[in-house]
Structure 1
Amino acid sequence: METDVFESEKRTELPLASSAGGCGCCSSEPSSSRVGTGDVEFTVEGLTCGHCVLAVEKAVSALEGVESASVELVPGGPSRLVVSGPVNGGAVRDAVTSAGYSVISN
């Protein structure tokens, strides 16, 4: 005797997220919850993979005053670098450049 693993009475209906805002992982809008007071955003070009992200995060994290550095990767396009802590924009630009990438805006 076989049983149907997809029996409808055993399914649980889950509520869907509002389509207006989307979810955090799929939304095309930047998440403002990730950027707190004192955070500085930079747009970086040339990153194509996780190794690129690690190189930039490591270079920027080594700067004095940087509490954290996080990259939101857009392979082949402009990626977003968020730096927390009292930072010097010129020093961040130099660190990104020394890692082999370009800051296009901040």
Structure 2
Amino acid sequence: MFESGNRTELPLAPSRAGCSCCAANVFSQPTSSAAEFTLEGLTCRHCSQTVEEAVLALEGVDSVAIELVPGGLSRVLVGGKAAGAAVRQAVLSAGYVVIGK
């Protein structure tokens, strides 16, 4: 059995931050002109990284910035000259949904 005197107490993330991988705000404005997309289904930083990698793999994408809203609608800014349809397909292929347009 475990002895309570040998446990290390770890700090908890604030409850408003969601899971520990969501604690940091990952949104930063791209430096070039950007197209904005609203995504549904992102719940954590891993989700954001999955979308970011999928979109960055597209030809013409210079940068990707994601404003993560766990369980809500997240905002994605894509810098560069990638076609909106290509970005939508990359997001869909990653397992998430683009809302609107």
Question: TM-score, length-normalised on structure 2?
Answer: 0.68
In structure 1, what is the Cα distance between the partners aligned to 2:50 and 2:29? 21
List alignment gaps of at least 5 residues for structure 2.
1-26
What is the aligned partner in structure 2 of residue 92 from structure 1? 87
What is the aligned partner in structure 2 of residue 27 from structure 1? none
In structure 1, what is the Cα distance between the partners aligned to 2:91 and 2:85? 10
Kept after mapping to 2: 8 A contact 1:46/1:102: yes
Correspondence for 1:76 among 34, 58, 71: 71
Percent of pairs with identical residues = 57
Kept after mapping to 2: 8 A contact 1:43/1:103: yes
In structure 1, what is the Cα distance between the partners aligned to 2:54 and 2:45? 14
What is the aligned partner in structure 2 of residue 54 from structure 1? 49
Kept after mapping to 1: 8 A contact 2:32/2:80: no
In structure 2, what is the Cα distance between the partners aligned to 1:84 and 1:66? 6
Larger radius of gyration: 1
List alignment gaps of at least 5 residues for structure 1.
1-30
Runs (4+) of structure 1 exceeding 6 A deviation are none
Amino acid at match of 1:91: A
| RMSD (Å), alpha carbons | 2.3
Deviation at 1:35, TM superposition (A): 5.5
Which structure features the higher share of helix residues?
A: 2
Deviation at 1:87, TM superposition (A): 1.5
What is the aligned partner in structure 2 of residue 104 from structure 1? 99
